[in-house]
């Protein structure tokens, strides 16, 4: 690619990031955690499921097994039962038991703070390692999950489908200090507006910067109906709270999800 094209791509990419920062000033890790171990476990559990489902499981899991030592000593059956709603629970339970044992035996029960060490743990790849590094240790990292992969291609930041290559391509466009928050913003946008099957192009504030504009619904009225979470119609109060109190946005999101689950539970009763 000619140098001027590379420069234009970088400028557009950084403008997208700035506008996403204005759109999601409250962007954060949507997995609930209180320490590096909880984030590590939650991220392992998040494979092939949603953060909402993981967040529904982890309170009871961490109440029962709050430390690597406690989890390393867990019975397989009990651990599988607790995490079953996240899917692939047998494989995940095996990974959690193995990584907890490794943490106890090799790291004195402390989650290591380097990419090189984290990726050696069972069930931990670069994506999980970057989530933990960026959000528990403050080490810049790009988290390439399915949302990030999809949007990175739509934005023209990469042509690859390989997560490692995508990470490298995107990293070249931004300063390291921006990597972690960029990841949150892009994932937020993917979950709320730029969906896999029906992106809400007509309601997207950064549509003017997107090479893929038109892949989804462009009619503004119809597109608004596709918005999710705090951007969805009827969620104006939640959005206002998250925008007005960025530091406590995660708590407001958690409360909203708990209320939604409670409503679903009541509605499902005979």
Please state the residue numbers annotated as binding site for [4Fe-4S] cluster.
194, 201, 204, 210
* Contact criterion met (CB below 8 Å) for 212 and 191: no
- Measured distance CA(108)–CA(41) in Å, rounded: 17
- Measured distance CA(171)–CA(142) in Å, rounded: 7
127 is catalytic: yes
219 is catalytic: no
Q: What is the DSSP string of 214-258?
A: TSS---HHHHHTT--GGGSTT-HHHHHHHHH-GGGHHHHHHHHHH
Cβ within 8 Å of residue 218, ≥6 positions away: 201, 202
Sequence-ordered alpha helix ranges (H) in 84-125 = 89-107, 115-118
* Contact criterion met (CB below 8 Å) for 76 and 83: no
List 32, 51, 145, 178, catalytic entry: 145
List 51, 92, 127, 178, catalytic entry: 127
* Contact criterion met (CB below 8 Å) for 149 and 161: yes
Q: Tell me which residues are annotated as active site.
A: 127, 145
């Amino acid at each position: 690619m000619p140098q001027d094209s590379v420069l234009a791509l970088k400028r557009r990419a950084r403008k997208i990031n700035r506008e996403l920062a204005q759109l999601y000033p409250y962007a954060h890790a949507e997995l609930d955690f209180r320490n590096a171990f909880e984030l590590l476990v939650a991220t392992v559990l998040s494979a092939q499921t949603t953060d909402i489902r993981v967040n529904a499981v982890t309170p009871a899991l961490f109440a029962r097994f709050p430390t690597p030592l406690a989890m390393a000593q867990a019975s397989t059956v009990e651990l599988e039962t607790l995490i079953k709603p996240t899917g692939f629970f047998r494989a995940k339970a095996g990974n959690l038991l193995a990584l907890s044992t490794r943490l106890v035996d090799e790291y004195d029960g402390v989650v290591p703070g380097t990419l090189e060490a984290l990726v050696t743990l069972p069930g931990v790849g670069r994506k999980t390692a970057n989530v933990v590094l960026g959000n528990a240790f403050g080490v810049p990292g790009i988290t390439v999950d399915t949302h990030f992969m999809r949007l990175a291609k739509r934005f023209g930041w990469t042509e690859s489908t390989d997560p490692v290559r995508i990470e490298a391509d995107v990293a070249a466009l931004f300063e390291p200090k921006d990597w972690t928050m960029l990841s949150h913003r892009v994932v937020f946008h993917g979950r709320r507006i730029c969906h896999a099957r029906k992106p809400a192009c007509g309601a997207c504030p950064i549509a003017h910067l997107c090479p893929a504009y038109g892949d989804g619904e462009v009619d503004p009225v119809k597109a608004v109906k596709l918005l999710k979470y705090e951007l969805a119609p009827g969620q104006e109060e939640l959005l206002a709270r998250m925008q007005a109190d960025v530091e406590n946005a995660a708590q407001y999101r958690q409360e909203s999800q708990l209320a939604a689950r409670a409503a679903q539970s009541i509605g499902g009763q005979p």
